[in-house]
Amino acid sequence: MMTIKEIRKRLDGGDISCRELTEAFLDAAKRDNPALNAYIRITEEEALRAADAADARRAKGEALSPLDGVPFILKDNINTKGITTTCASKMLANYVPIFDAFIWEKLRDSGAIMLGKGNMDEFAMGSTGETSYFGATSNPHNLDHVAGGSSSGPAAAVAGGLAVFGIGSDTGGSVRIPASFCGLVGLKPTYGAISRRGVIAYGSSLDQIGPIAVCAEDAALVFDAMCEKDPGDMTSVGSEPVTPKLTGSVAGKKIGMAREFFEVMSPPVREAIERAVKLFEKMGATIVPLEFPMLRYTLSTYYIIACAEAASNLGRFDGLRYGYRAESAADLDDFICRTRTEGFGKEVRRRILLGTYVLSAGYYDAYYNKAQLLRRAIKNEFSEMFKKCDLLLGPTVATTALQKGSGLTPVEMYQTDICTSSVNLAGLPAMSVPCGFDEKGLPIGLQLVGPHFGESEILSAALAFERETAGEFLKSSGMGVKL
C-alpha cells in the first residue's frame, strides 16, 4: 500500500509516468480481482485516457492538485456518465447514467484516475459485503473473511494494493466498518459537507460520501477535493479544506469515552482500544469518562428511519422507466410486483417491507414518529457529551472481520452497526483508524467522533496516533501493485 504523498513524489520526480503507474495498477487489478472481487467493473480505457492527460499536464508544467495522477476506486452507487452504475443489484445491472455525480466531477477535475467501480452490498444495504448481486468481496488480509460493508470493494481494493484510495458511502457505518475490517482509515464527514447529488440514495437523511485511505493525511486530501458546496444539492453546505488545519497533536485535548461502547466489545478489540487510550494519554490528552444511555435505542431508531427512507427512495425502481424489467406479467400490478421481486435481493426486499410497514397508516405514529423523536434525543445527548470533551473515542466495530458465510441472522448483522449508526443519526463526522490486530492477524479499528464540522479535530488526532505508532498497524496484504 502506497500513500498519495508517496505516489505524487514518484510522479513529480519523473521516476514513473502516470500512464505507467496506471497500467501497473490495472494489471494488478486484473490479476488479483478474481480473488478479492473488489471491482465490479474495471474502466481501463477511461483510466488510460485520464493518465495520458495527467502526463501532458506535467509535461507542460501546469499547477497540479494533490490528487493529480493518483489512481482510485469509486463505489458503484455513484453515477458515472456513460459507465455502468449498478448498485451491485440485478435491478440496475445494465443501468448507464446520463449524468455524473458531483463528487465524481470534482475528483475528475482534480486529475485523479478512476480505475473502476467498486463492489458493495446491494443498494448499500449490509455490513459484510455479502449481499452484492455480483458476489461477496473478500478481505485481503484473509480471503476467508469478509471485507465489511457496504463499501466492501473500495476497502478491499485499497487494502489489497489495487488502488491508492477509495470513495464509499456511509449510511450507518458503511465507510468505517470496511475500513476497520481491512486495516484502513475511513472518514465519514459531517452530513452536508459533501454533496450527495448523483449518489443513488439509500437513506437520504443519513447518507454521506467519504474516503477510504491508507492514512489520515490521505483521507484529508481526498476530503478537500470533494467538500465544495453544491448548488444542485439542497442539503449541501460544503466545508473548508482540512489539510491546512491538521496539527498532528492531541496535547491538551479532552477525549470522551462513553462507558456503553465498551460493554459490547470482544476481548481483542477491548485490549486494542485500551492500549490506544493509554497512547493518547501519553501524548497529552485527558480522558473524560462519559455515559451514553441512548445507545441502547440507536439500532432500533436507525433501522426504522433507514428502512422508511429506503422504501421511499427505492419506490422508483418499478421497471417502467429504467432498470430490470420482468419478462411476462398478467397486468400492470403483476408486472411491477414481478419486477421488484426478481430485481431486488433478499435483504433489499426485507428493508423495503420493513420501511413500508413503519410508514403505513396504522403504525406511522407508533414507529416512525417515535423514531424521529428518539433521533432528536440522541442528537441532544451527543451535544451534551461535546460540552465536556473535544472528541469521542471508542471501537468502530465490536469484533474483527467475520468469516464469510457465517450465517448471521438479519438482527445479528444489524448489530454490527451498534457503534457507528448513532453518528449518522446525529449527522456528525467520524472516522476509523487502525489500532491493532486479533489473534488471527485481522485488523481492529478505533473510532474517533467529532462535533459538527470537526473533521480537522478527528483527523489531527488520527494523525497524532499514526505518528506515535509509526505505522505499526499498517499491514500489507502482500497483494496488489509492486512499484
**373 occurs within a structural domain:** no
Peptide bond into 65 cis (omega under 30): no
First to last CA, the chain: 10
* Grid cell listed for 133: 448481486
447 contacts 424 by C-beta, under 8 angstroms: no
**403 occurs within a structural domain:** no
Please tell me the distance from the alpha carbon of residue 83 to that of residue 47, in angstroms, as a whole number.
Answer: 12
CA distances from 38 to 97, 155, 158, 244, 275 (A): 21, 8, 9, 32, 32
**270 occurs within a structural domain:** no
| CATH number of the domain that residue 121 is part of | 3.90.1300.10
325 contacts 318 by C-beta, under 8 angstroms: no
Model pTM score: 0.97
**Residue 178: half-sphere exposure toward Cβ, Cα within 13 Å:** 46
Predicted confidence at residue 482, as pLDDT, reads 84
pLDDT averaged per 10 residues, the chain (length 483): 95 97 98 98 98 98 97 98 98 97 98 98 97 98 98 98 98 98 98 98 98 98 98 97 98 97 91 97 98 96 98 96 93 96 98 97 95 98 98 97 92 94 98 97 98 98 97 87 85
Predicted confidence at residue 10, as pLDDT, reads 96
Asked about 174 being catalytic, the answer comes back as: yes
Please tell me the distance from the alpha carbon of residue 196 to that of residue 201, in angstroms, as a whole number.
Answer: 8
Count of residues for the chain? 483
> Tens digit of pLDDT for each residue in 155-211?
999 999 999 999 999 999 999 999 999 999 999 999 999 999 999 999 999 999 999
**430 occurs within a structural domain:** no
Q: List Cβ neighbours of 227 (8 Å cut-off, separation of 6 or more).
A: 189, 193, 194, 238, 239, 240, 241, 242
Predicted confidence at residue 483, as pLDDT, reads 82
Please tell me the distance from the alpha carbon of residue 457 to that of residue 194, in angstroms, as a whole number.
Answer: 17
Geometric angle at alpha carbon 222, from 218 and 224, rounded to 5° = 115
> How many domains does the structure of the chain reveal?
1
**281 occurs within a structural domain:** no
- Which residues constitute the domain of residue 145? 4-251+464-469
Q: Which of 138, 152, 169, 174 is catalytic?
A: 174
Helix (H) or strand (E) holding 383: helix 370-386
**32 occurs within a structural domain:** yes
List the 391-395 sheet strands across, edge first. 39-42, 113-118, 71-75, 165-170, 208-213, 185-188, 430-437, 443-449, 391-395, 254-258, 286-290
Please tell me the distance from the alpha carbon of residue 179 to that of residue 211, in angstroms, as a whole number.
Answer: 10
CA distances from 98 to 84, 116, 252, 314 (A): 10, 18, 50, 19
**237 occurs within a structural domain:** yes
CB atoms within 10 A of CB 16: 16
104 contacts 116 by C-beta, under 8 angstroms: no
Sole residue written with cell 496484504: 477
* Grid cell listed for 29: 487489478
**42 occurs within a structural domain:** yes
CB atoms within 10 A of CB 360: 11
Of 25, 125, 26, the closest CA to residue 77 belongs to 125
Q: Which of 75, 188, 404, 475 is catalytic?
A: 75
Q: Which of 89, 132, 150, 169 is catalytic?
A: 150
Predicted confidence at residue 477, as pLDDT, reads 83
160 contacts 127 by C-beta, under 8 angstroms: no
